[in-house]
Structure 1
Amino acid sequence: MEQSSRARSPRDRALPAYYWIVWPAVIAFAAFHTLPVIVGIFFSFTNYAGYGGWDLVGFANYVNLFRDDRILQAYGFSFVFAIAATVLTNVISLAIALGLNSKIVGRNFFRGVYFVPYVLAALVIGYVFQFIFSNSLPRILSGIPLIADNILTNPDWAWTAIVALAVWQACAFSIIIYLAGLQTIPAELYEAASLDGASTRRQFRSITFPLISAFFTINVVLSLKGFLQVFDPIVALTNGGPGTATESVSLLIFRGGFTGGEFAYQTANAVIFFIVITVVSLLQFRVLQRREADF
């Protein structure tokens, strides 16, 4: 008896308190995340409109998704938008981070300034950008036909305005990630490279980028995942227009599922969208981490 009582450490006696702390979080997660997901997947196999009765229809919703031109157009727009925004975000963020990491006057102040867009409400900033694209720019740049006619009403170019807003706001977070990576590089490496006569471009190619490749992977994966789910900037700038030219998958799911009487159909769309994003993210990790190993 004495040996068994001595064998129980204070940590073992504290286990009940540990479970009392963890279980409420587990139950809340299951109630507000896991259970709704399971219910949603179930309804994706029905013809439920969001109200009234319903019947099981099997995989009919999933089959119809691949025949719906509007669905395919939304996926096409979402991927084009996400790829363009991801490339621009990471190029601009890395360039700014390199500048902030150098010895410039007031760099801490500028770090705070560049992070401000990330803490602002997306819809509020979206309406500000809408005013800029609809009123300010057409007056200032009246000599450029594309901008003078309000780019937001142009079905071929309205998406570029959404990219501008999304990139402007997303750069704030990416800059912080890149700065964290740049600060892990020992200054001695640059000093040695300078003594060997390496140019700034060569130092970036041989030292900087290989050593922050893990941070690059994180930024690219998070950026593409976030941009594929774009919603707020579109609602604020174009609301999916002109027509359906800038309608993303997330906006289509919201419109059809909550206001269009397509609850089950758009739930099936959401399930497919979740699978697509998961597969794309895993492929990104696999490819980019392999590149890290090459460095």
Structure 2
Amino acid sequence: MTVPAVLLFATFHTFPAIQGIFYSFTNWDGLSLTYDFVGLKNYYYLFQDENVLHSYLFTFKFALISTILVNILSLAIALGLNENIKLKNFFRAVYFLPNILSVLVVGYIFNYLFANVLPLLGEKLGIGVLATNILGNEKWAWLGIVVVAVWQACAFNTILYLTGLQTVPPELYEASSLDGASKWQNFWHITFPMIAPFFTINMVLAMKNFLMVFDQVVALTGGGPGRATESISLLIYNSGFQGGEFAYQSANSVIYFIVIMVISIAQIKFLQKREVDL
């Protein structure tokens, strides 16, 4: 029963990945029938490429800020929904709705809002900050991408935190209330230690997904203004498939994969150790 799935996975994932590693040691442009082996030259030049270094810096900055924001907001929303409020299931569905929407569709909608609705609203209200399109500002365009990415990512993370909160025994809160514990003490000494495994999952998945940001950048800025918001994924796509740098960007993809893997493993090791300490 598993053979068809294994064959499909190997055909569309494993084999292309191995091909990419192979081509990273060549000078193939993606179209020619011939190519030459160049060894580690592609990897050597990557570390001297300013565009590559800038894309890594932008992606790391974006991923770090977005990961922190999405986990803070998701946990706050989950704690609020976990309280005994009316229409709890309705609000859960509302908060989960962004997760089922297409990333590109959401990006284009927010692009319209940033470019047309908010500037018009800012002019009418006399708010200078809103009167200009933030996506056209080289210094602040990345904030627009953060807003969209965090808004949509909160949906999935909130559901995971809600699942974790359901595993906390109510008896613990009853015992703490008898001791006169405050809400903050309950959260820090009971809630957070009990949902620490869910925090680990959310942190690792969020960081991985944000490091691979692509659709939001395409829909909102296209990597601009200039190359101010060009993520690693977008650079690999544009230069590899459209710029004739297939082998060169294949090497970039290999390094990119290693970086994501190392960061994910480091997160898991550190956060799991924190789980034990808590």
* Separation (CA, whole Å) in 2 of partners of 1:264 and 1:198: 60
**Residue 269 in structure 1 maps to residue 252 in structure 2:** yes
The residue number in structure 2 matching 1:29 is: 9
How do residues 29-178 of structure 1 correspond to structure 2 at under 5 angstroms?
A: 29-52=9-32, 53-142=34-123, 143-178=126-161
* Separation (CA, whole Å) in 2 of partners of 1:273 and 1:147: 36
* Separation (CA, whole Å) in 2 of partners of 1:24 and 1:150: 50
**Taking structure 1 as the reference length, what is the TM-score of the superposition?**
0.92
How do residues 131-280 of structure 1 correspond to structure 2 at under 5 angstroms?
A: 131-142=112-123, 143-280=126-263
- Residue identity in the other structure for 1:244: R
Q: Name the SS for the 1:56 alignment partner.
A: coil
* Separation (CA, whole Å) in 1 of partners of 2:2 and 2:119: 56
* Separation (CA, whole Å) in 1 of partners of 2:129 and 2:200: 36
**Offset at residue 28 of structure 1 (A):** 1.5
8 Å CA contact 2:121, 2:130 repeated in 1: no
Q: Name the SS for the 2:2 alignment partner.
A: helix
* Separation (CA, whole Å) in 2 of partners of 1:122 and 1:27: 29
**Offset at residue 74 of structure 1 (A):** 0.1
* Separation (CA, whole Å) in 2 of partners of 1:61 and 1:147: 44
What's the Cα RMSD here?
A: 0.7
**Offset at residue 187 of structure 1 (A):** 0.8
- Residue identity in the other structure for 1:247: E
**Offset at residue 113 of structure 1 (A):** 0.4
The residue number in structure 1 matching 2:273 is: 290
**Taking structure 2 as the reference length, what is the TM-score of the superposition?**
0.98
* Deviation digits for residues 90-143 of structure 1 (CA, Å, limit 9, x no counterpart): 000000000100001101000000000000001111111001101111111233
- Residue identity in the other structure for 2:145: I
* Separation (CA, whole Å) in 1 of partners of 2:3 and 2:73: 43
8 Å CA contact 2:81, 2:92 repeated in 1: yes
Identity, % of aligned positions: 59
**Offset at residue 146 of structure 1 (A):** 3.5
Count residues with an aligned counterpart.
275
**Offset at residue 33 of structure 1 (A):** 1.1
- Residue identity in the other structure for 2:220: L
**Offset at residue 22 of structure 1 (A):** 1.6
* Separation (CA, whole Å) in 1 of partners of 2:131 and 2:254: 41
* Separation (CA, whole Å) in 2 of partners of 1:28 and 1:235: 29
- Residue identity in the other structure for 2:186: Q
* Deviation digits for residues 221-275 of structure 1 (CA, Å, limit 9, x no counterpart): 0000000000001100000000000000000000011100000000100000000
Q: Which moved more, 1:247-256 or 1:134-143?
A: 134-143
- Residue identity in the other structure for 1:109: F
Q: Which structure 1 segments of 5+ residues have no match?
A: 1-20
Q: Name the SS for the 1:141 alignment partner.
A: helix
**Offset at residue 195 of structure 1 (A):** 1.3
